[in-house]
Amino acid sequence: MEKSGSVDSLGSKRSSSRQPSVDSLSSTSTSRSDRSAQAKPPSAMSSDSVATSAELSPELRVKPKTHAKQVLRDSDKEEPQLLPNEKVQDMAQDVTYFCPFIGALRGTVTATNYRLFFKCMDREPAFVLDLPLGVVSRVEKIGSASTRGDVSYGLVCKDMRNLRFAHKQLDDTLRKSIFEVLMKFAFPVSNGLQIFAFEYGQVFPENGWKVYDAVSEYKRQGIPNESWRITKVNDHYEVCDTYPSTLAVPVNIPDEELKRVAAFRAKGRIPVLSWIHPESQATVTRCSQPMVGVNGKRSKEDEKYLQAIMDANAQSHKLFIFDARPSVNAAANKMKGGGYESEDAYQNAELVFLDIHNIHVMRESLRKLKDVVYPNIEDSHWLSNLESTHWLEHIKLILAGALRIADKVESGKTSVVVHCSDGWDRTGQLTSLAMLMLDGYYRTIRGFEVLLEKEWLSFGHRFQLRIGHGDKNHTDADRSPVFIQFIDCVWQLTRQFPAAFEFNEYFLVTILDHLYSCLFGTFLCNSEQQRLKEEIPKRTVSLWSYINSQLEEFTNPLYVNYSNHVLFPVVSLRHLELWVGYYIRWNPRMRPQEPVHQRYKELLAKRAELQKRVDELQREVTNRSASSSSERAGSPTRSITPVQTFV
């Protein structure tokens, strides 16, 4: 496989023995013009209904000027365009929204079972705030009624915003405030209601639930083979209730032995295959910590199992175990019965700690980042304030860990085992990022969807607990931005390799917006078993249905399809950036004057046009070659080689 250093590392020692970065080879890019032919989703999914773009953010999205009749119609209409099964629950006139960028705006608030919709008619064009209720972390009543009789409410959001509203004290003391009504639908789980995803019934041209099939994905990787087999030992989730039903394990380990290995691994999460190198057969396997405890317990079955993983790769007689935690934390886990592998017990294995901190540290880091970036940025202390959050340091450590894993598999031809404590947070970050660096398939739109379905959803990242869908308990210690960090790391890779990914920034922002929105069922529940029990694929719509029905919206026009390139990013802090397009997108001063998203669409159209012209010229050259050959049949002629040209 060819390897690519980032744009910045081309002059480094490493890049001297490898192909240049995919970005420097864009002259032979293949056309993706077929994407532009995809149909738009139904009108119910308009940008006004599901706002995810940084350029079209609900915070400051305004109605564009159209014909006079259209403007009048929009002005008269104070309710949002409703989605299927979305119902208005309450409406309040004369509500003030305190916008941190524009100032106080007076208008109408509509609360539905899916969103809060605020519209101010005093401005031209009308100001609209469209907020999915799933984004709300908590609703707070601020103080008591003021001297003017106004009551204030604050909405703390999961997407970096804090919103503040005020309205007149109600004369009818028995009637609830619209913000008390809103709380009921913002936290349906706490109020015995269904999450809106179970009610939303939009039909799309494609069924996103069929994007991922475990057996098909293993088959794409060449599994089963002489060293690895697919087992159904967890078919009923009896071995491990947080693992998928379909697992790939070493061929010489029988199912009964797998059960004994499960007894020695936290939560029964045994080492299983995530990815195999198509040439060297070096593998990335994932699991949870061994239950060593303070007495240093051992398991012959577990030691034999890891030996089998190493033996499955004939290219190397060594196995690297990457423990995502700081060594101090891993040692402390022994007091709770956990721990880490002893190099004495596991022959030919080398243990490496990656120093990535736990979910509580990450949660606090994001809280500090929010304080720094919203609503206003203190320009004079920007760099020191950003540094104090430690957010980019955490991003660096995650990327650096994934890079070490990818390098060991690609350059060292060595198999690796990855785990943290339970194997569903940091482990998922590391395996999926390493696979993204190693395998170009995952850098396509559909391939990335498969990666998320496989490494995050099927392997039991606890989305319900980490995000808190519909739950009002905002202080829950299980909340943490683990998945947000992963998407941030992906964005960092797209910055260093702008032509290596088929998807654009809008794709990543859309995924994060719908992580919270509760419009789709994709990120509901904590495991595959729970999703099947709740019949999520039958009762809800997949996010991939929405995305794959309008692929041109999410396609990167600079994409070059070099699937056999391996990406080795530069992970030093000076090469990492804060993701302004996500964390600071609500600030109008931080937005580009020309919407990048629109520019991408224009580039895709131009690319399709140029590719069409290239194809026409190619046919013309071929036809001339054929006619010239037939005219001079029997006489020696100079053959014309067709020109292989791609836009």
328 burial (CB, 10 Å; 0-12 / 13-18 / 19+) is exposed
**In Å, what is the CA distance from 56 to each residue of 241, 256, 411, 419, 446?**
41, 55, 43, 39, 24
Does the annotation mark 420 as catalytic? yes
Looking at the chain, how many residues does it have?
647
**In Å, what is the CA distance from 320 to each residue of 308, 343, 437, 638?**
13, 10, 18, 57
| Euclidean distance between CA atoms 555 and 498, whole angstroms | 12
The token pair at 17 is 């023995």
Fill in the DSSP letter of residue 280. Answer: T
The token pair at 49 is 């209904």
Among 420, 489, 518, 525, the active-site one is 420
**In Å, what is the CA distance from 269 to each residue of 171, 288, 354, 385, 457?**
58, 5, 20, 40, 15
β-pair type (162-168, 150-157) = antiparallel
- Give me the sheet containing 349-353, strands edge to edge: 272-276, 283-286, 415-419, 319-323, 349-353
Who contacts 344 (Cβ-Cβ below 8 Å, separation ≥6)? none
Comparing CA positions, the residue from 297, 217, 280, 568 lying closest to residue 416 is 280
Count helices and strands (H / E) in the chain: 19, 16
Torsion angle, alpha carbons of 602, 565, 461, 367, to 10: -60
| Euclidean distance between CA atoms 200 and 179, whole angstroms | 23
| Euclidean distance between CA atoms 91 and 112, whole angstroms | 9
Handedness of CA 554, 556, 561, 567 (dihedral sign): negative
The token pair at 330 is 């891993």
Q: Any idea which residue has 């309205």 for tokens?
A: 167
Q: Are 517 and 132 in contact (CB under 8 A)?
A: yes
Spell 531-560 as b/e; 16+ CB within 10 A means b. beebebbeebbbbbbbbbbbbbbbbbbbbb
| Euclidean distance between CA atoms 481 and 187, whole angstroms | 19
Handedness of CA 219, 500, 52, 574 (dihedral sign): positive
| Euclidean distance between CA atoms 46 and 43, whole angstroms | 5
β-pair type (2-5, 103-112) = unpaired
| Euclidean distance between CA atoms 392 and 577, whole angstroms | 8
> How many other C-beta atoms can be found within 10 angstroms of the C-beta atom of residue 174?
5
The token pair at 313 is 């790769």
Fill in the DSSP letter of residue 572. Answer: S
Active site residues: 420
